[in-house]
Amino acid sequence: MKQKLLVFSFIAVLVLSACGQKTLSEPITLHNQDQKEVTFPLEKPTVFFFITSYT
């Protein structure tokens, strides 16, 4: 059963990645904790993390 699930997951990831865009057409803009807009550049690879907390 685990092997079937693993194969299905691999095929699903492969199909979804093939359907994606190669490049982004516009920059990514998110809001930080102070509600200020933060724009990520498209010229070079960028890594960003989402950390959520429920208070």
Query: What pLDDT, in 10s, does the model give residues 14-38?
Result: 888 888 777 767 778 888 888 899 8
**Which comes out higher in pLDDT, residue 31 or 45?**
31
Place of tokens 């691999």: 10
% of residues, the chain, pLDDT over 70: 85
Q: Are 29 and 21 in contact (CB under 8 A)?
A: no
Domains of the chain, residue spans: 25-55
Q: Are 46 and 31 in contact (CB under 8 A)?
A: no
pTM flag (> 0.75): no
Give CA–CA dist 27/29, Å, rounded. Answer: 6
pLDDT, residue 53, reads: 67
